[in-house]
Structure 1
Amino acid sequence: MQFANKTIDLTQPRVMGILNVTPDSFSDGGRFTNMDAALNHTKQMLDEGADFIDIGGESTRPGAADVTLEQELDRVIPVVETICREFDCVVSVDTSKAQVMTEAVKAGAGLINDIRALREPGALQAAKQADVAICLMHMQGKPRTMQHNPEYGDVVADVLSFLQERVLECEKVGISRDKIILDPGFGFGKNQQQNYQLLACLQQFDQMRLPLLVGMSRKSMLGNVINRDTKQRLAASIAAATVALMQGAQIIRVHDVAETVDAIKIIQAVKAI
């Protein structure tokens, strides 16, 4: 798949390293708001085997406060510019704002990762004009309220239907399918049972014949089962990633890159038999 000027083979599982340049993200808020810290962490994740660095300037944890356009631009764009200049990797920008998408791609980003699936004003046109890869994620509600009693008729069918609809909307404005990645949105407007129903049935997303990105790293859907806080969820994160990869997920979005890369090597050894 083409990501700006870089091609990545998604027939092999790939790792997306998380770089939150926010003060309030659920797991690592405040750790990488300094440029030196962000660059050092980027280098570490790339050395450990990440193919993508996903940069987010607005926390999307449940209950998170909104961030202004100016705040997000100030947080994200200098980091995107510097990483694209210093490192050979695909930079992904985790945003729903059209102007942030536009400026991040100008700065070198090769992937727009939108939790709102290009539903914000101007986002579809901005993504079309940017002419880079796009990840469309399913979310019910908004980050501030999304975990307040989410309801579905059939969570797998409903998420599939939503993503199919968003792909059609992309195609209507001229975004080709070969630029689209899908994300079922674990933890975004789903309760515990709904998250695990999605994970158990992830293979059903193969019917869309588009690359699948999943992000469960350190999330509460894991912590609630093992009764551990965010810093003690590594084993659970690897287990969830393994389940997803065995069902065909192509990109795993994680905090712990080295350990996820090791898990992928074992999965590939099993699949090679």
Structure 2
Amino acid sequence: MTSVPAEVAALQPRRIGAHTFDFARRTAVMAVVNRTPDSFFDRGATFALDAAVAQALRAVEEGADWVDVGGLPFSPDTPDVPVAEELDRVLPVVEAIRASSDVVISVDTYRPEVAQAVLDGGADVINDVMGLRVAGLGEVVAGSGATIVIAHSIGQPHRHHRGPQYEDVVGEVVAYLTERVEHARALGIAEDRIVIDPGHDLNKNTLHTLEITRRLREVAAIGLPMLVALSNKDFVGESIDRPQGERLSGTLAATALCVEAGARIVRAHHVPETVDAVRMTEAVLGLRAPAYLRHNIDPGTD
């Protein structure tokens, strides 16, 4: 008997790309591959094409089930990127990864032109931080057979949304995601191709994000696989007073709590550490057997 939310325990296995995921019992680790010169985490370390592809393939070797390729910064403090430039950044990475691996590939974009090109180039998933609010994106996904990640955010693309206010942030996130899922279904995207994301820190302050994390079971109760993107975010740094680059321990603590509450895809910058944290959480919850049993099992062992 585990404490996993009933709606999560009832999830059926689903096929994404070349892989089948049993989200009732397993959590997928999604590796972040940013092809931007100004990523908040790596400051452009994987901006070069070769570096981005190498990072993605290294993540697969380290245990990632999924790689998420991004060519746009979310922050409005950076210059906007034209569609052609975003495509130049992400499409060659997708094509190179697909040529070398059957790992699930998602692309973090809200632009339909980019989505169509990367899906044609071998991507399996569109990770949309705008929640299908940009015209045309849903139709591209519906016509492709791809999976869509629908995230909660209330701002406009590449625009500041200063001082966000919520009466009940979790209730509003749940209502938004429920409505967006219905919108996706109306466009022809089957429910077994939809993933939800409560949008940690997206148009939210640290208190909002902590409340979402604390009450994440309410989001899991929607009954679809849930992605959480926690890695090295500001809510971690502000909670434990750690600058960027020193937030791994806090990220892993939040990750374990989210998995226990029903998250089934975890977006991560530090893949090996995240894989270990997720596997340990699964073992504690009774979802995964230990890799081996030796301690106090056989006579004469310690």
Shorter-chain TM-score: which interval? over 0.9
Give the counterpart of 1:135 among 120, 128, 149.
149
**Is the contact between residue 147 and residue 188 of structure 1 (CA under 8 Å) also seen in structure 2?**
no
Structure 2 counterpart of 1:54:
68
**Maintained 8 Å contact 1:61/1:143:** no
Q: Give the superposed CA RMSD.
A: 1.4
Structure 1 residue aligned with 2:253, among 232, 239, 251? 239
Which of residues 93, 110, 126 in structure 2 aligns to 1:112?
126
CA positional deviation for 1:206: 2.4
Match of 2:270 in 1: 256
Whether 2:200 is the aligned partner of 1:202: answer: no
Task: Name the SS of the counterpart of 2:267 in structure 1.
Answer: strand
Q: Which residue of 2 aligns with 1:160?
A: 174
Aligned pair partner of 1:42 in 44, 48, 56: 56
In structure 1, distance between residues paired with 2:117 and 2:260? 36
Tell me, in whole angstroms, the C-alpha distance in 2 between the residues paired with 1:226 and 1:147. 25
Pick closer, same or farther for the CA change 1:237–1:62 going to 2, 3 Å.
Answer: farther
1:110 Cα deviation (Å)?
Answer: 0.6
Question: Does structure 1 retain, via aligned residues, the 8 Å contact 2:18–2:102?
Answer: no
- Indicate yes or no: 2:23 matched with 1:10: yes
The percent of aligned pairs where both chains have the same amino acid is 37
Please identify runs of 4+ aligned residues in structure 1 that moved more than 6 A: none
Equivalent pairs counted in the alignment come to: 273
1:229 to 222, 243, 264: 243
> In terms of Rg, which structure is larger?
2
2:79 equivalent in structure 1: 65
Match of 1:211 among 225, 232, 238: 225
Cα contact 1:16–1:51 (8 A) shared by 2: yes
Offset at residue 89 of structure 1 (A): 0.2
Structure 1 or 2: more helix by fraction: 1
Q: Match for 1:46: what amino acid? A: V
Unpaired runs of 5+ residues, structure 2, are: 1-13, 288-302
User: What is the TM-score with the length of structure 2 in the denominator?
Assistant: 0.87
Residue 162 of structure 2 aligns with which residue?
148
Pairing partner for 2:183 from 169, 177, 191? 169
Q: Which moved more, 1:142-151 or 1:40-49?
A: 142-151
Conservation of the 8 A alpha-carbon contact between 1:20 and 1:29: no
Q: 2:189 & 2:91 partners in 1: Cα distance?
A: 24
Q: Given residue 98 of structure 1, which amino acid in structure 2 is its aligned partner? A: P
The 1:147–1:258 alpha-carbon spacing in structure 2 relative to 1, beyond 3 Å, is farther
Counterparts in 2 of 1:40 and 1:249: CA distance versus 1, 3 Å = same
Match of 2:197 among 183, 186, 193: 183
Name which of 90, 100, 105 aligns with 1:76.
90
1:92 and 2:106 aligned: yes
Alignment partners' CA distance in 1, 2:161 and 2:247: 20
Contact map agreement 1:48 1:257 (CA 8 A) in 2? yes
Q: Partners in 1 of 2:220 and 2:182 — Cα distance?
A: 17
Structure 1 stretch 27-36 or stretch 156-165: which is displaced more? 27-36
In the alignment, the residues of structure 1 paired with residue 161 and residue 239 of structure 2 have an alpha-carbon distance, to the nearest angstrom, of: 17
Change (3 A) 1:62 1:194: farther
Equivalent residue letter for 1:69: V
Query: Secondary structure at 1:60's aligned position in 2?
Result: coil
